[in-house]
Amino acid sequence: MPNQKQKIIIANWKMNPASFIEAENLLKTIKSGIKKSDNLKIVICPPAVYLPKMKPNSNFDLGIQNIFWEDKGAYTGEISAPIAKKLGANYAIIGHSERRIYLNETDEMVNKKIKAALKNNLKPILCIGETLEEKNQDKTSEIISSQLKSALKNISKFQVPSSKFYVAYEPIWAIGTGETPTSNEVMSAALLIRKIIAGLYDRQTADNLSILYGGSVTGKNALDFLDNAGMNGLLVGGASLNGSEFARIVNLI
Ligand code: 13P
């Protein structure tokens, strides 16, 4: 059953904090605040330049917030999957809506990045979700379906076993706004995601997939998504920049 899988809580620090000293302090607060739980994986995704100094331990692993799709070459400013691995990342957030919006990242680029991550043994956390306008036009299912199918184009089921691939449902209108979907809406999105995965691959792959929710997650609402909506994990932005709040979320599990 999907709900009984190991839960995963991912901190997406985005372009924060402003210095490594602050990042170190934040990490210290998180580390000292969390109680150990065997049924839990914590992944911190800091700005890439902080990765080599972050020293993961048995309590947490590291992820990168983005990668480029080629392994090397003349791509000024980009970070490849092999470089990300060498920096210490084991996970890669791919297709975050902020990159789709501010950097014009397309479904095609997302697909290439997922392939690059899988090839280099980085576990992709694929972000999908609709805008407020799309939600109001009842296009949520259409958007989820097209983003998911494009992202997985020409990727076989053997490349996306449950331990190596995650999908995060992040409605764009819920990111950083304090607005959240109801647990029923999140559950419907997750059901749809599993249905699409079952159609692309098979039922077992769909059942085994870990689906995360992201968008204005706090210590107050986290359990609603985990317990009531049955999510396998959370992708936390703003609240992960407050060490004790993030620890509070983690300690709910
Ligand atoms: P907030 O938790 O700040 O809404 O951000 C969510 C997010 O974008 C995580 O990737």
- 226/186 Cα distance (integer angstroms): 10
Q: Is 130 part of the annotated catalytic residue set?
A: no
Over residues 55-111, the pLDDT tens digits come to: 888 889 999 999 999 999 999 999 999 999 999 999 999 999 999 999 999 999 999
pTM confidence score: 0.97
What is the predicted pLDDT for the residue at 141?
Answer: 98
2-250 maps to which CATH number?
Answer: 3.20.20.70
pLDDT tens digit string along 153-204?
A: 999 999 998 889 999 999 999 999 999 999 999 999 999 999 999 999 999 9
* Number of continuous H segments (helices) and E segments (strands) in the chain: 10, 8
Segments making up each domain of the chain, as ranges = 2-250
Measured in angstroms, how far is the CA atom of residue 214 from the centroid of ligand 1? 6
| Whether residue 96 lies in the annotated active site | yes
Q: Could you say which of 98, 170, 185, 245 is catalytic?
A: 170
Summary mean pLDDT of the chain: 96
- Pairing mode, strands 233-236 and 210-214: parallel
Contact by Cβ (8 Å): 228, 2: no
pLDDT of the residue at 2: 46
- Of 51, 59, 67, 65, nearest in space to 9 by CA: 59
CA of 181 to the centre of ligand 1 (A): 13
Rounded to an integer, the average pLDDT of 27-40 is 90
Question: Which atom, in ligand 1's list, is nearest to the CA of 96?
Answer: 10
